[in-house]
Structure formats: C-alpha cells, structure tokens
C-alpha cells in the first residue's frame, strides 16, 4: 500500500547509541531522545530505551499519552498550556517551563493527584524562542518555585538555533552556567540537570567549547538524521539515510509544459511561474500537500524533478525517463518533511 515511509530502525538505534557515547566523551552524561517526529509510535520509541538514553522528550502531550508503558522518564518539551496541566502531571514526569503562573498551575494539579512533578526552568540565551531572558532578573521566580510543595526544580536548560538561528558557542553557553552558579549558591542547592540545547550544540563536540557544567542535551535530528544542525554537517560514524518515502504514479503522459490559455492562481491561491520547456513527460503521484510540503521531498533519481502539485497530487517531470503508471517513485525526506509525513494518516509507516 502506498504512499508509505520506510524507517530503518536499526540505523536509528545505532545513531542513538553513538550519540550517547559521543556525548560522554564530551562530559555530557545524560541524553534525552527527542521523538516528536515519531507521533507516538510506541515500538520504535521503545527500541531507543536500551540505547543508553536517560529520558524521552516530545512536544505534544497527546504523544506522551501513547508512551505510558515506556520505562524511562518522559518530558514535555513544549511549554505546557495552563488548560492541559492535569494531563501534563499525569503523562509527563518532567516538563520544560518559563512561566511561574503555569508552574503554579502544575503544582496545583500535581497536589490534586498527589504526585511530584519535575521541571526544567528554561532560559533564553538570545535565540528568542522560549525561556526567561538570561540577562533579566530570575531569582524571585526561582524562590517562588522552591516554595511549591509538589514541584521539584530538576534543573535549568536552554534552546538554541530554533527561532533566531543563534549558533551555540562557549560564550553563549556560559550565560547558562552563570545562571546555574548564581542559583546554586544563592539557594544552596544542586541543580541535577543543566541542559545545553539540542542537536545544534553537537557542532561543538570535540572542540573544548562546551562548558563542563553542561551535563545534558535533548537530541532529535542528530539521532534521526546523523547530522548536527548548526550547519547541517554529517556526524562521523552515524547513518544519514534512515527514511525513504515512496509514492505511486497514477498518470504518466506527455503534455505541453505551459497551461493552454489565460492563467490566474492555483488551488492554493498562489500565482505560479511556469517555464516553457516544450513537450514534457509528466508523472502524477498519489501524494499531495495535505500530507507533506512538496519541496521537502527529494527524488532519489536525480534525473527527475518535482514541478508542482496540489492537495492530493504531486507532478514530476520525467521527460526521457522510463516511468509508467503503477510504478513507485522514491524520495529522501528532511526533518520537516518527515514530521509531516509521520503525522499524515494516509501515509503508511513501515519499520524495518
């Protein structure tokens, strides 16, 4: 059945083990595997448990609900909505937070269910997504957190290279270390986790650029695609091609390359620029923008190219090539493409 995505589980397990080992060599003894791209697929996520990782992280509570049997602490990565705190304390052992009002709501929910909830307090080191801005006051907030009966301040963390594209380096990570030192001495406590970012921090491995006090990373893309994400370079010893997407040709005919008559906008409200390449052999595949943005797909046969599509169709230029209906065309996908395909109910997921 097509369309389908084929996932190489063994390669991903290998990558996870390798990242745990490489992190250790860089004094980072704890890795959270970030699995948001797997939409809660239990077997695959469960297969990562034995690779030496310490927690599982996902940004949606709906996904964590599917993982209740996994024998590792689970972390909600996206800041909780106040409206979901009951679920958060039920299905996540840890959550990332930056708002005292939300943390108090989590405390109330945890108290009601008589459980302890752990939080990692997030600091924005300049990338401008979530977190308390590093140069602004935070002591009062920490004081408030420490007063709560059912919340444990497990540690602090930062997220980089997500919104602003801020690339990590020693200077930026030291902003987090400074905060750790201030909190620990002011309140005479030990922060168990200092979480120094995601796969973009992997760029700094083996360069003595990661402060020793960073002891934790949250890794998704590096485990799945074998790349660091500051510059997109391959990580030595890891597998890169772990996902192949396949779709079936439902029409294959030679037509002109220019629409015949006056043109306006396409079904997505866009004015498209179409180049006249003369007669063109065109293949239509049964996959569309409802399932994935088409520019996230890269044909493995580099002699063919995607020329466009609509919600349920993808059109390929296969001029001069031996394609016909019923045949399957294979693509590589990048991280955003995988995220969409895994979340499409119409795309079958094959684990091998």
Residue 36 a catalytic site member = yes
Closer to ligand PLP by CB, 220 or 288: give it. Answer: 220
φ, ψ of residue 299 in degrees (nearest 5):
-60, 135
Among 98, 118, 215, 229, contact with ligand PLP (rule: CB under 6 A): 229
Residue 198 interacting with ligand PLP (CB under 6 A): yes
Q: Does 291 bind ligand PLP (CB under 6 A)?
A: no
Of the candidates 17, 22, 24, 36, the residue annotated as catalytic is 36
The nearest distance, CB 227 to ligand PLP, in angstroms, is 9
C-beta closer to ligand PLP: residue 220 or 337? 220
Q: Which of 84, 127, 221, 317 binds ligand PLP (CB under 6 A)?
A: 221
**Is residue 125 at the binding interface for ligand PLP, with CB under 6 A as the rule?**
no
Smallest Cα–Cα separation from 282: which of 300, 263, 312, 308? 308
Q: How far is the CB of 168 from ligand PLP (least distance, A)?
A: 11
Nearer to ligand PLP, 97 or 319 (CB): 97
Provide the b/e sequence for 185-224 (b: ≥16 CB within 10 Å).
eeeeeebebbbbbbbbbbbbbeeebbbebbbbbbbbbbbb
Angle separating helix axes 139-146 and 100-112, nearest 10 degrees: 10
The DSSP call for residue 145 is H
- Torsion angle, alpha carbons of 109, 197, 334, 241, to 10: -110
Residue 222 contacts ligand PLP per CB under 6 A? yes
Looking at the Cβ atoms of 77 and 214, the one nearer to ligand PLP is 77
Q: Select the residue whose beta carbon is closest to ligand PLP and give its number.
A: 220
> Which of these ranges, 41-49, 171-179, 205-213, 220-228, lies near ligand PLP under the rule CB under 6 A?
220-228
Selected binder of ligand PLP within 92, 94, 105, 219 (CB under 6 A): 219
SS3 124: strand
Q: Which residues in 297-336 contact ligand PLP (CB under 6 A)?
A: none
Least distance (Å) between residue 222 CB and ligand PLP: 6
22 makes contact with ligand PLP (CB under 6 A): no
Shortest distance, position 214 Cβ to ligand PLP, whole Å: 14
CB of 221 to ligand PLP, least distance (A): 4
Residues 87-116 interacting with ligand PLP (rule: CB under 6 A): 96
List the one residue out of 145, 149, 74 whose CA is nearest residue 108.
149
Which helix (H) or strand (E) covers residue 61, if one does? helix 61-65
The whole-angstrom separation of Cα 163 and Cα 128 is: 6
Do residues 154 and 177 touch, judged by C-beta distance below 8 A? no
Residue 220 binds to ligand PLP (criterion: CB under 6 A): yes
Sole window of 1-9, 16-24, 218-226, 231-239 interacting with ligand PLP (rule: CB under 6 A): 218-226
Q: With CB under 6 A as the rule, give the number of residues binding ligand PLP.
A: 14
| Nearest distance, CB of residue 198 and ligand PLP, angstroms | 3
Q: Quick one: three-class SS letters along 172-218?
A: HHHHHHHHHHHHHHHHCCCCCEEECCCCCHHHHCCCCCCCCCCCEEE
SS3 letters across 237-261: CCCCCCEEEEEEEEEEEEEECCCCC
Block residue for tokens 């001069």: 320
Q: What Rg, from alpha-carbon coordinates, does the chain have?
A: 23
Residue 16 as a binder of ligand PLP (CB under 6 A): the answer is no
Residues 48-67 close enough to bind ligand PLP by CB under 6 A: 59
- Give the CB-side neighbour count of residue 30, counting CA atoms within 13 A: 16
Shortest CB 58 distance to ligand PLP, Å = 9
Residue 159 is a binding residue for ligand PLP (CB under 6 A)? yes
Pairing between strand 216-219 and 30-34?
parallel
Q: Which residues are near ligand PLP by CB under 6 A? A: 34, 36, 59, 77, 96, 159, 198-199, 218-222, 229
- What are the catalytic residues? 36
């Amino acid at each position: 059945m097509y369309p389908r995505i084929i996932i190489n589980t063994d390669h991903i397990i290998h990558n996870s083990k390798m990242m745990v080992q490489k992190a250790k060599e860089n004094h980072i003894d704890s890795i959270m595997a970030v699995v948001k791209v797997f939409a809660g697929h239990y077997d695959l996520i469960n297969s990562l448990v034995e690779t030496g990782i310490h927690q599982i992280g996902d940004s949606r509570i709906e996904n964590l609900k599917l993982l209740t049997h996994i024998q590792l602490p689970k972390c909600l990565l996206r800041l909780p909505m106040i409206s979901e705190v009951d679920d958060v304390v039920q299905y996540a052992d840890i959550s990332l937070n930056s708002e005292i009002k939300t943390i108090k709501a989590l405390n109330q929910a945890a108290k009601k269910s008589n459980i302890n909830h752990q939080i990692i307090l997030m600091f924005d080191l300049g990338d401008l997504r979530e977190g308390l801005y590093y140069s602004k006051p935070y002591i009062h907030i920490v004081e408030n957190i420490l007063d709560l009966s059912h919340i444990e301040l497990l540690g602090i963390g930062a997220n980089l290279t997500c919104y602003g594209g801020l690339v990590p380096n020693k200077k930026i990570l030291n902003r987090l270390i400074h905060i750790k030192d201030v909190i620990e001495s002011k309140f005479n406590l030990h922060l168990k986790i200092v979480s120094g970012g995601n796969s973009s921090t992997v760029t700094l491995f083996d360069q003595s650029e990661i402060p020793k006090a960073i002891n934790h990373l949250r890794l998704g893309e590096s485990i799945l695609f074998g790349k660091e994400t500051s510059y997109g370079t391959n990580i030595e010893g890891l597998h890169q091609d772990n996902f192949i997407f396949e779709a079936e040709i439902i029409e294959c005919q030679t037509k002109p390359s220019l629409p015949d008559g006056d043109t306006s906008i396409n079904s997505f409200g866009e004015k498209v620029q179409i180049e006249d390449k003369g007669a063109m052999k065109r293949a239509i595949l049964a996959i569309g923008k409802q399932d994935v943005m088409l520019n996230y797909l890269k044909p493995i046969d580099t002699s063919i190219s995607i020329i466009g599509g609509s919600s349920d169709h993808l059109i390929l230029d296969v001029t001069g090539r031996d394609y016909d209906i019923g045949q399957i065309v294979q693509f590589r996908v990048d991280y955003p493409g995988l995220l969409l395909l895994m979340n499409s109910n119409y795309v079958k997921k094959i684990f091998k």
